[in-house]
Amino acid sequence: MNSSESLEDLPYVELRDRAFDLARDRLDIGFFVDLMNHTPSAAAMATEGGSLGDISGSIIDTIAAAREAFSDENVGDLEPLFVARFATYIREHQKH
């Protein structure tokens, strides 16, 4: 990506993967918990007896679940919100 390109101009899946890879490398489970707290899937999980406070398994399992929850097919009208969140996360945590 050259300096004239914006992170927000990347395809959604590429931007999501870059943010997820960065969070994985940083072992930042909080990033994924925060994302889940801002999605309709979190509300659905809570009504089914799930709890984000009960995340177990490896960070790899968490990332795999997040990739599915945040697929371009699943985010729908919330895509601009997640594009902004992913771009901000990358800017805040990417080593220059």
How do the pLDDT tens digits run along the chain, 96 residues long?
Answer: 554 469 999 999 999 999 999 999 999 989 988 888 877 655 554 444 445 445 556 778 888 888 888 888 888 898 999 999 999 999 999 986
> The whole model's pTM is what?
0.77
d(CA 95, CA 39): 28
